[in-house]
Structure 1
Amino acid sequence: MITRAPLLNRLLAKLAAGFAALALCLQPAAAQSVLRDAETEALFRDAGAPIFKAAGFDPRAIDMVLLNDGSINAFVAGGQAIYIHSGLISAADNVNELQGVIAHELGHITGGHIIRFDEGMKPATGITVLSLLLGGLAAAAGSPDAAMGVFMAGQQAAMGKFLAFSRAQESSADAAGADFLAKAGISGRGSIEFFKKLQNQEFRYGYNASANPDAEFYRTHPMTSDRLTTLQDVYERDPAWNTPAPADLQARFQRVKAKLYGYLADPQDTLRTYPAYLTDTPARYARAYAFHKEAYADKALDETKALIAQDPANPYFLELEGQILLESGRPAEALEPLRKATAQTGNEPLIATAFGHALLATEDADNLAEAEKVLKNAVARDKDNPFAWYQLGVVYQARGDIPRARLASAEQQLMNMRLPEALRSAEAAEAALPKGSPDWLRAQDIAMSVRAIIERRRKSR
């Protein structure tokens, strides 16, 4: 089940610290939303795990976040998190290309490039300040044109200083990524193929170094042709060059790619890309989402049942069946597939949240106890899921536990940055919960966090 959520507060804080981007352009972070999907996140973890281990990281220590953005891009922000645009998944042809991107972005993390952001900014800022001072002196001497010339030259020099620093970081991340892939025994062929896609993008948008010798000066990244020349030789000499990606991992990538396409694209575009005569798993997956978006529940269920017949043990197909039934107003029928999917994935939090939602949607009081158990387990393992907190609050409300309902509301409101509401809910929960209990302490923490955010915003204004 794919869901959307605004960029959470912790993600916005990381993005505000700066970024090191892989692709040609970035969209404003505020316009993006996070896409949460259990199957996609499991693929990211498994595709990245050998690369993280090769770099000396515990794979669980790296967050991989999918953003709803059609541009071909990936980047890192503060902390150990890699952000991948949905457009990159759409553009990649195989999981090896995704692994090449992961390795490159991990190179930014191991290089401390976000932490070292000020190293590039300080020299550029110094040049800018000096040009302002010299320009001011020239203006005071009665030469406004000279003052403007000094200022513009200073701005140009400052930009060149910072962009040269950025290009050096990208080259460093390229080298580190190649090293990680080699240590993990993963071919760099996908990395090369993906860089060729970026090169085609450059040609399409007119980034041609031979036609415009000054083009590289204005770039945050080295020219892709130069990167390809350097990396091609490195990767072709690596023993893993001709090693194919594991067949199961590649099949999972193709399923996720089709699933995201069906979820994000216009249904008619999906049905043209995956016409009815295609009966493979990715095609059925994409069509199921397209039909569901068009409210053709029976057609969506037909595709889903065909998927389950092909692979009865796949919990994500059961999850999709439950989602279609739940969102089509048939929550009681959704319980069995969602219960099975939850069990088969070891209570995966996103799937468990959907199961808890279905239990509540039946409006059967006998299901409240199971819903509470399922949702408490979900938020314990994934605290950054506002919808799970909302559903848990509904359970507490229905069972007459108003203090904990308010605490759950405070959690959800804080994640959605509804600060005044979060503060009121937290204070109300704190006043009613047993003093010194874990829930009472958590209500205190939320209230203090909200007050601190409000105060920082006030001071920044």
Structure 2
Amino acid sequence: MKVFARKGLTACLFGLAFSLAAVAQDSSFSNKNTLPEIGVVASEAISLDKEMMVGDAVMRQMRGQAPLISDPILDEYLQDLGNRLVVHAENAKFPFTFFWVNNDAINAFAFFGGHIGVHAGLIRRADNESELASVLAHEISHVTQRHIARRMQAQQRATPIAIASMLGGVLLAMASPQAGIAAMQAGSAASAQLQIDYTRSNEQEADRIGIAMLARAGFDPNAAASFFSTMAEEYRMVSRPPARLLTHPLTETRVADARSRAADYPDKRIRPVKSFHLAKARIVSRYSFDADYALEHFQAAVDSGDYPHAEAAMYGLGLAHMRNENYAEARDIIIDTLLKDDPANLFYLDAATDISLAEDLHKEAISRLEPHMSLTPRNTVLALNYANALIQGGQYSTATQVLKDYLLVNPEYELAYQLLAEAHREAKQFGDMHQAKAEVFALYGAYSRAVDELQYAYNFAGDDHLVKQRIRARIKQLRDQEDRLKRL
């Protein structure tokens, strides 16, 4: 499946990760040993409704400005992993959204409204799925315990200006990392020692709750301590540790506490998870390494046979061949070997579609996907790959119907709107194309650009008064959303 991995502004996201994680972990009550009254104390600073509005606004700006990875198969894997944890979380007040950041740093961060970002470098350093899950569980705990809101409550008791500086700094960091961090530092400098106390309290709380969540969800509760140890050892002699260690200090006491908490749960012997290793191989092959080095890396892994998962090594090699446009070699690995042995595997189906389309074999791609689409027509990987194959094969009407059906249940997946705009453009349906592009800009928080696109669409509506009325109503909705954002 074609992917959209935004480049540039890596430092912007790095700054945002640092600032949001720091905000998330610096809050608690003056009594550090008392757990929060969820929804009561924190709601004095910000209600759940407003928290979701702020989270939505930040997420829209991140889509437009941060180097996120829009990759259906990786998105589905991460969201599924996160959901398996969230169902075992306490005080989950809203759906969680998990997304990838195209950055090789070891980092993850949470912010308002249940949004959790994971840097690509995190899964590259994790040895197994439980280690990756341990980081997600920790970040989920920051959200369910409303650490950001509790920090705001503590700052509110000190000065309202600090809250404005904090929120302004978070948003500003997306456009200008240095300015954003400076604004946040200026707003919090007066209470540095208090922030240290909040950090200790919230990290202990998130560790405790996260490890319990990890165990309830069926993962290895020892994974948190093992990943802590791996990170600490890797960067023991480095003068500047990664963002994850800057915002989540790894003291010996913290690692020992994680081991002690894990000892309260039964030992789990968990077999290697194929989807984890495939996701990791995809990250490494497509996003972490240059094309030539990825090919060398996975060829050596296959030849040596010492890669943690043999099929994942072959999959990574197949993807590396694709990046280097060696489609015959990629076909031999992905389609003739891996997919033949596991015909329903979405990782393989996604790659096989890309190979077929690169070789102008549109009918092959469509016929391969159709049986799976009949079973799960709104699966993200299948629907978007199928629509892409239909577009490349000139079947624009069918493609637009597939995408519209998908968007009914996934209205905020930008890649679907991008494909929809492409389908309408190829079909010369320019009014519909501008409407689809407007939705992409709206997902970026670029409301003025979205309104411009809708006005272009209005000019193509001709005498269709129903379409014109629908466009006018959507313009009003977008302007209302922009006004609400300004009032925040």
Shift in Å at residue 94 of structure 1?
0.2
Correspondence 1:362 to 2:385: no
Shift in Å at residue 227 of structure 1?
1.0
Shift in Å at residue 70 of structure 1?
0.4
Q: For residues 31 and 166 of structure 1, do their structure 2 counterparts lie closer, same or farther at Cα, with a shift above 3 Å needed? A: farther
Correspondence 1:245 to 2:262: no
Find the partner of 1:277 among 303, 312, 321: 303
Cα displacement string for residues 158-207 of structure 1 (whole angstroms, at most 9, x for unaligned residues): 32322332332222111111222233343211111111122124413248
Partner of 1:101: 135
Q: For residues 46 and 371 of structure 1, do their structure 2 counterparts lie closer, same or farther at Cα, with a shift above 3 Å needed? A: closer
Relative contact order, CA 8 A, sep 6+: which one is greater? 2
If you compute each CA radius of gyration, which structure gives the higher value, 1 or 2?
A: 1
Correspondence 1:180 to 2:213: yes
Find the partner of 1:114 among 148, 165, 169: 148
Partner of 2:21: 20
Partner of 2:370: 339
Q: For residues 343 and 115 of structure 1, do their structure 2 counterparts lie closer, same or farther at Cα, with a shift above 3 Å needed? A: farther
Cα displacement string for residues 296-352 of structure 1 (whole angstroms, at most 9, x for unaligned residues): 111111111211122123233122111122234443433223434544544323432
TM-score after normalising by structure 2: 0.72
Q: For residues 56 and 271 of structure 1, do their structure 2 counterparts lie closer, same or farther at Cα, with a shift above 3 Å needed? A: same
Find the partner of 2:88 among 54, 64, 76: 54
Partner of 1:137: none
C-alpha distance in 1, partners of 2:449/2:197? Answer: 46
1:355-434 aligned at under 5 Å gives the runs 355-363=386-394, 367-396=395-424, 401-416=429-444, 419-429=447-457, 432=461
C-alpha distance in 2, partners of 1:18/1:157? Answer: 17
Shift in Å at residue 92 of structure 1?
0.2
Q: For residues 398 and 257 of structure 1, do their structure 2 counterparts lie closer, same or farther at Cα, with a shift above 3 Å needed? A: closer
Correspondence 1:3 to 2:30: no
Query: Identity rate of aligned residues, in percent?
Result: 24
Correspondence 1:298 to 2:321: no
Other structure's SS at 1:204 match: coil
Partner of 2:478: 449
Partner of 2:192: 159
Q: For residues 106 and 391 of structure 1, do their structure 2 counterparts lie closer, same or farther at Cα, with a shift above 3 Å needed? A: closer
Q: For residues 392 and 267 of structure 1, do their structure 2 counterparts lie closer, same or farther at Cα, with a shift above 3 Å needed? A: closer
Partner of 2:291: 267
Partner of 2:120: 86
C-alpha distance in 1, partners of 2:67/2:396? Answer: 31
Preserved CA contact (<8 Å) 2:83 2:96: no
TM-score after normalising by structure 1: 0.76
Partner of 2:108: 74
The number of residue pairs the alignment matches comes to: 409
- Consecutive unaligned residues in structure 1, runs of 5 or more: 129-153, 209-217
Cα displacement string for residues 43-102 of structure 1 (whole angstroms, at most 9, x for unaligned residues): 334433443222247799221111111011111011012211110000000001012112
Shift in Å at residue 292 of structure 1?
1.0
- Give the counterpart letter for 1:244 in structure 2: R
Other structure's SS at 2:109 match: strand
Q: For residues 259 and 181 of structure 1, do their structure 2 counterparts lie closer, same or farther at Cα, with a shift above 3 Å needed? A: same
Q: For residues 98 and 284 of structure 1, do their structure 2 counterparts lie closer, same or farther at Cα, with a shift above 3 Å needed? A: same
Q: For residues 371 and 2 of structure 1, do their structure 2 counterparts lie closer, same or farther at Cα, with a shift above 3 Å needed? A: closer
- Give the counterpart letter for 1:161 in structure 2: L
Other structure's SS at 2:228 match: helix
- Give the counterpart letter for 1:445 in structure 2: R
Other structure's SS at 1:390 match: helix
- Consecutive unaligned residues in structure 2, runs of 5 or more: 8-12, 26-60, 163-186
Preserved CA contact (<8 Å) 1:430 1:440: no
Other structure's SS at 1:19 match: helix
Q: For residues 278 and 37 of structure 1, do their structure 2 counterparts lie closer, same or farther at Cα, with a shift above 3 Å needed? A: farther
C-alpha distance in 2, partners of 1:362/1:2? Answer: 15
